[in-house]
Amino acid sequence: MPGTQMDVQNGVAVISLHNPPVNALHPSVLQGLFNHLREAQARPDVKAVVITGANGRFCAGFDINQFVQASGGGGIDDRINESFCDLIESGPKPTVAAVQTMALGGGCELALACNARVCTPGTSFGLPELQLGIIPGFGGTQRLPRTVGLQKAVEMMLTSTPIKDRAALKLGLVDAVVPAAQLLEAAKQMALDIAAGKRARVQTLYRTDKLEALGEALPILHFAREQTVKRARHLTHPLLCLDAIQYGIEHGGRAGLQKEVECFAAAAALDTHKALVHIFFAQRSTKKIKGVTDAGLRPRPIKRVAVLGGGLMGSGIATACVLAGIEVLLKEVNQKFLDAGLGRIQSNLTSRVKKGRMTESAAKAAMSLVQGALDYTGFGNVDMVVEAAIEDVKIKQEIFAELERCCRKDAILSTNTSTINIELVGAKTTCPDRILGAHFFSPAHIMPLLEIVRTNATSKQVILDTLELSTKIKKTPVVVGNCTGFAVNRVFFPYTQAACMLVDMGLDPYRIDKIVAGFGMPMGPFRLSDLVGADVGLHVGKNIIDSFPERSYPARIIQLLNEHKRLGEKSGRGFYKYDARRRAAPDADLVPLVQQSRKDAGLYKESSPPPKMSDQDIAEFIFFPVVNEGCRVIDEGIVEKAADLDVAMVMGMGFPAFRGGLIFWADLVGADYICKRLSGWAQQFSGSPLAGFFKPCAYLEASARQGTKLSAGKGAASKL
C-alpha cells in the first residue's frame, strides 16, 4: 500500500516516501506525508526533518494514474498544496530533501519546498508536467524561478527537460552531491545545522536574490510566449504556465501560488491533458504483450547485429545499434557501397558530436564497433540480422535463404521492409519461427518507433528478444501482425491518397499542406511526399494498391512527378522547389502537372470553380479515411490494442501527441460523425471506384450504431 514511513533518530525525523517503482505521489502518500510532517513538526524530540524516497528513488511526481481517474485536476485538494507549502517550508522545524536518482514534477516541487537539498550522483531534477498537458501544481512555477533564475526555470518547464546533479549544484537547485551511502547522514547533518542556526534556513518562496528584476523578467517571459506560440501554436497550457510564473513575479510568490492553482485547473480541464496522459501510459504499455512478456521467458541479450545494406536505412539502423554499444557487421554488395555506408554511420555520429549529444571519444568508440563485410563470412557469429536491402521480394527471398545457411540456428532473422508481407520474405527458408519484421523509420537512429512485425510462426522468444533490443536502442516498440504495410504505412496510405484526390478535385496543394500542418502534423502530405521521395512513394503505394485495390486511389500526380523526375527534396523539385539549404517554396512549374493530373482523373474541369470546402472539411476528408483504415487494423487484430496504434501514429507518422493519437482523437470526434461523413463521400462518388475509398468498414459502422468507443478493441464490432 502506498504511504510514508517515519523514523526519528538523534533529533531528526526521516520521512520516506513508499510507492514503488518511482514513489509517485498517490493520495495516500500525500496524506501520509502530511500526517507525518504534522507529527514531526509537533514532537518535542524532533529538531529537524529529512524527506527521502524508499528503494533508491526519491519521487517521479504526482501519481499520473489519478489524472486518469479524476475528471480534471487529478482530484488534488488545493488546501493540501497550500498546507504543504507552509508546513515544509515555514513550519517550526527545518526540512531537508535527501534525493536519490530522480526528483521530477511534484517530487522536484517537494524538494524545492524543503529548506535545503542533498542528492546522489546522477540524480535528475525537472518539472516535466507540460509533457502531460498540465503545469507544475505544487508551487514549481514559483519556487523554481526563485531557485535557478527565471531564464533557466522557464527553459526547464517549457521543454520538460530535467537537469543532472552537477548542473543542479551549479545552479543552486541542490546544495550538495554526496555518494549514496552518505546521503541520509549528510541530509540529517544539514538539517540539524539549519536547526542550530549554523546554516541559513532558505524559504524559497520569499527569495528574491535569484529572480531577475521585473524590467528584465518581463522581456524574458514575452520572448518565451512568442516562441511558444510559434512552436506550439495548438497548445494553451504552456501559456498558462507562463501566466502563473508572471503573476508570481508581479505580485509575489504567495499570490503566485494561488494563480498556479487556477492555471493548473484550467490546463487539467483541457482535452490536451487527457490526450497526453493517454499517450504517456500507451507508450509504456506497448512493451507488454499478452502471451509473450507474461510467458515466463527471459530475453536473450543481443550483442552483435549484422545489418544488410548500408543505405540510408541500413546505416541509420547500424548507428542506433552502436550508440547502444552493440557490435555491428555492415554488409554491402561492393566496396564502393560499403565505404558509403560506413561514411554515413561516421557522419551520423559526427553530427551528434557537433550537436553536443556525445563526446568525440564516445563517437570514436561507437565507430570502432562497426565492421564492414562484402560477404557472409562472420554472419555465423551474430545474434540478429536486420536486412535493409532494396524493396524487391525476390532479392529478399534469396537473401533470407542465404542467411539461413550462414547464421547460427538461433539467430534472429529480421527484415526492415516497410510494406512487404513477412511470410513472403521468408518463403524460401525453413525457419519461419526466427523471422520477423523490424521496421525502423527514417532516419533510423533518430526516429523513436520500432514496428515489430510478427507472423503466426514467429516464436515468442524471438519477439521478446526483439522487444529487449528496442529498449536497448531506446526505441518504443509496437508489436503488430503481418499484412501489407503493417500498421503504420497501411493505416496512413489514405492520407496522401486523399490529399491527391483533393488536388484532382480542384484544390490547391499548398492550401492542403497548410491546413494539415495547422491540424498539428509536422508537415503536410505534399511536403512529406517530397521528403520521402516520389519514387519511394510510388513504389510503396503500388504494394498497397495491389493489396487493397477496392479502396485505393492510384494518384496520377505522383506518377507524373516521377515521369518528370521531380522526386522531391533530393532532386531539388517535387511538389515544391528547394534551394541549396533545402528550404521549400511553392513552384509555379507544378501547375501543368496538376492540370494534367486533373484531366486524367476526370474529377474536375479547369473551367469550373474549385469545390467549396472549409479547412475542417479538408482535414476530415484526409483524416477520416485514415481512421477508417485504423479501424480495420484494430478489427483484424493487426494491433493488440487501439492504444498501440495511437503510439505508432504519433511516433511513426508525427500524428499530434496532443490529440492523443489517431483513435483517441477519433473517439473524441465520435464514431457516428466520422461514419456519417465517410458515408456522405461514398455516396458522392457512388458508381465510381472511389466510393470504396470512403466506405465505412464494419467495425466503424458497428461502433457508430452502438455508440461504443473505437478504442474498445479487436473483435468489439462482432460482439456488439
Is residue 267 at the binding interface for ligand 3H9, with CB under 6 A as the rule? Answer: no
Pairing state between β 304-308 and 584-586: unpaired
Q: Using H for helix, E for strand and C for coil, what is the string for 618-666? A: HHHHHHHHHHHHHHHHHHCCCECCHHHHHHHHHHHHCCCHHHCCHHHHH
Q: Smallest distance, Å, CB 131 to ligand 3H9? A: 6
Query: With binding defined as CB under 6 A, does residue 473 bind ligand 3H9?
Result: no
Q: Does 584 bind ligand 3H9 (CB under 6 A)?
A: no
Q: What string of DSSP letters covers 126-170?
A: E--GGGGTS---SSHHHHHHHHH-HHHHHHHHHHT--EEHHHHHH
270 binds ligand 3H9 (CB under 6 A): no
Contacts 24+ apart (CB under 8 A), 63-69: 63/2, 63/19, 63/24, 63/25, 63/26, 63/27, 63/29, 64/24, 64/132, 64/277, 64/280, 64/281, 65/24, 65/26, 66/26, 66/27, 67/132, 67/134, 67/268, 67/273, 67/274, 67/277, 68/277, 68/281
- Beta carbon of residue 471, minimum distance to ligand 3H9 (angstroms, whole number): 9
The verdict on 248 binding ligand 3H9 (CB under 6 A) reads no
Query: Rounded to the nearest whole angstrom, what is the least distance from the CB of residue 264 to ligand 3H9 in the complex?
Result: 6
136 contacts ligand 3H9 (rule: CB under 6 A) = yes
Site string for ligand 3H9, 73-92 (x = CB under 6 A): ---x----------------
Using an 8 Å Cβ cutoff, are 562 and 507 in contact? Answer: no
For cell 496522401, name the residue: 496
Q: Does 129 bind ligand 3H9 (CB under 6 A)?
A: yes
Query: Least distance from C-beta 6 to ligand 3H9, angstroms?
Result: 22
Catalogue the active-site residues. Answer: 109, 129
Near ligand 3H9 by CB under 6 A, which window of 99-107, 318-326, 373-381, 694-702?
Answer: 99-107
CA-to-CA distance for 20 and 42, rounded, in angstroms?
29
Instruction: For residue 686, state whether it binds ligand 3H9 (rule: CB under 6 A).
Output: no
Residue with smaller CB distance to ligand 3H9, 63 or 451: 63
Give 277 or 369: the residue with its C-beta nearer to ligand 3H9: 277
Which residues, in sequence order, are CB contacts of 582 under 8 Å at separation 6+? 569
Q: Which stretch binds ligand 3H9 (CB under 6 A): 42-50, 57-65, 494-502, 612-620?
A: 57-65
Across the beta sheet with 124-126, what order do the strands follow?
102-104, 124-126, 163-164
Give the residue among 511, 555, 518 at the shortest CA–CA distance from 537: 555
Amino acid at 663: I
Are 661 and 279 contacting, i.e. CB atoms less than 8 angstroms apart? yes
Check binding of 62 to ligand 3H9 (CB under 6 A).
yes
Distance between CA atoms of residues 491 and 154, nearest Å: 38
9 by DSSP, 3-state: which? strand
| Cβ nearer to ligand 3H9, comparing 129 with 327 | 129
Q: How far is the CB of 568 from ligand 3H9 (least distance, A)?
A: 36
The CA R_g of the chain, rounded to the nearest whole Å, is 28
Task: Name the minimum Å distance from CB 160 to ligand 3H9.
Answer: 8
Phi first, then psi, for residue 318 (nearest 5°) are: -60, -40
**List 2, 32, 94, 105, residue binding ligand 3H9 (CB under 6 A):** 105
What ranges in 295-372 are assigned the alpha helix state H? 312-323, 335-354, 360-367
Spatial CA neighbour of 82 closest among 34, 39, 50, 22? 34
> Under a CB-based contact definition with an 8 Å cutoff, are residues 310 and 387 in contact?
no
User: Residue of minimal CB distance from ligand 3H9?
Assistant: 105
The binder of ligand 3H9 chosen from 30, 63, 123, 389 (CB under 6 A): 63
**Is 434 in a helix, a strand, or coil?**
helix
- Identify which range of 56-64, 418-426, 524-532, 637-645 contacts ligand 3H9 by CB under 6 A: 56-64
| CA–CA distance, 402 with 697 (Å, rounded to integer) | 41
64 counts as binding ligand 3H9 under rule CB under 6 A: yes
Among 128, 145, 149, 310, interactor with ligand 3H9 by CB under 6 A: 128
| Whole-angstrom distance, CA of residue 606 vs CA of residue 453 | 45
- DSSP letter string over 169-192? HHHTS-SEE--GGGHHHHHHHHHH
d(CA 244, CA 261): 9
Which of 13, 104, 512, 663 touches ligand 3H9 (CB under 6 A)?
104
138 contacts ligand 3H9 (rule: CB under 6 A): yes
Phi and psi at residue 141, to the nearest 5° = -65, -20
Question: Which residue in the set 13, 33, 60, 716 belongs to the binding site for ligand 3H9 (CB under 6 A)?
Answer: 60
Minimum distance from residue 140 beta carbon to ligand 3H9 (Å): 6
Residue 150 binds to ligand 3H9 (criterion: CB under 6 A): no
Conformation bin of residue 197: beta by default, left when phi > 0, alpha when psi is -120 to 50:
left
Q: Output 129 or 383, the one with its CB closest to ligand 3H9.
A: 129
Could you tell me if 416 and 313 are in contact, meaning their C-beta atoms sit under 8 angstroms apart? yes
Q: CA 499, CA 412: separation in Å to the nearest integer? A: 39
The single residue among 13, 14, 15, 24 that binds ligand 3H9, judged by CB under 6 A, is: 24
125 makes contact with ligand 3H9 (CB under 6 A): no
Minimum CB separation of residue 79 from ligand 3H9 in Å reads 12
Specify the stretch interacting with ligand 3H9 by CB under 6 A; choose among 19-27, 427-435, 521-529, 609-617: 19-27
Minimum CB–partner distance for residue 146 and ligand 3H9 (Å): 16
Nearest to 69 by CA among 268, 231, 252, 220: 268
Binding to ligand 3H9 by CB under 6 A, coded x per residue (else -) over 508-547, reads ----------------------------------------
Residue among 105 and 652 whose Cβ is closer to ligand 3H9: 105
Options 21, 197, 215, 296; binder of ligand 3H9; rule CB under 6 A:
21
Q: Quick check: 284 binds ligand 3H9 (CB under 6 A)?
A: yes
Neighbour-count burial of 583, counting CB atoms closer than 10 A to its CB (0-12 exposed, 13-18 middle, 19+ buried): exposed
SS3 (DSSP) at 604:
coil
Q: Please identify, among the stretches 97-105, 366-374, 415-423, 497-505, the one whose residues bind ligand 3H9 according to the rule CB under 6 A.
A: 97-105
Residue range at the interface with ligand 3H9 (CB under 6 A); choices 63-71, 190-198, 651-659, 668-676: 63-71
Shortest CB 84 distance to ligand 3H9, Å? 10
CB of 495 to ligand 3H9, least distance (A): 30
Using CB under 6 A as the binding rule, whether residue 106 contacts ligand 3H9 is answered as yes
**Binding string to ligand 3H9 for residues 590 to 619, with x set by CB under 6 A, is what?**
------------------------------
Residue of 78, 79, 96 whose CA lies nearest to 40 = 96
Where do contacts with ligand 3H9 occur on this chain (CB under 6 A)? 21-22, 24, 60-65, 76, 102, 104-106, 109, 128-129, 132, 136-138, 140, 284
